[in-house]
Amino acid sequence: MLKNIRAFALILAGLAVAYPNLAEAQSTQDGASPFKAAIENPARSDADRERDKTSKPAQVLQFFGVKPGIKVLDLFSGGGYYAEILSYAVGPTGHVISHTNKSYESFVGEEASARFKNGRLANVNRMTSEIGSLGLESASLDMILMALTYHDIYYTADYWPKVDRDNFFRQIAESLKPGGILAIIDHSARADTGVDAAQALHRIDEVFARQDIERAGFIFDEASDLLRNPDDSRTLNVFDEKIRRKTDRFVYRFIKK
């Protein structure tokens, strides 16, 4: 019996070295959820904590069904805000892929480099690939998170060529396991505008979004009002300081057949 106890203690010690935030990520003593523990992890930056006020990540990830042990792709992860929270929420038995491409890196590369420096998040892998050829393993993911990036399928610029929408959805559908979750957060545009606002405002019509993703073969499961802002006129560019981080956002959960 003593030998078994010692062996177990050694295992725990090894986990503590490999995953220093294990206690914070998994703590549910005192009734705290794993999401609360993830948000309160002391390794998180002050800037991220400030963003929490309007992003409500604990409630959003709980709505999407994030659980310890799952494998999540944070698609177009940006500076890695969600990737870090997911790292703590899925725990050492889970895995997070923080995806980026050349365009995103040119905007947020320094933030991401600092976040992932020296293997800081042990269960997160950085992945760089372009939208036309993501390079995802078939049926390997439990969840794909697109946080404020779905509208980019319909955005074009010198640095962002027109996206083959059908090819994009085929890739992500093939990478999800049956029953896997496609988690969408995006800035809402005015009703009946389709994709028109994606170009100038970086927004998209939420009714169009639901129908578009359903046409791609995903099953709409549920919507959340967690990130609603009725004071947003939905006419300003999302980077306008009057509305930045305070836009009216829709939150949709889809299931792969």
Mean pLDDT, each 10-residue run in order, the chain (257 residues): 41 39 38 80 96 96 97 96 98 97 82 92 96 97 98 94 96 98 98 98 98 98 98 98 97 97
- pLDDT for res 63: 97
Cα angle, residue 109 at apex, residues 106 and 115 outer, rounded to 5°: 165
Closest CA to 153 of 193, 213, 235: 213
Tell me the two tokens of residue 130: 């372009």
Domains and CATH numbers, the chain: 43-256 (3.40.50.150)
Tell me the two tokens of residue 61: 């990830």
- pLDDT for res 2: 39
Do the Cβ atoms of 76 and 104 come closer than 8 Å?
A: yes
pTM for the whole thing?
0.86
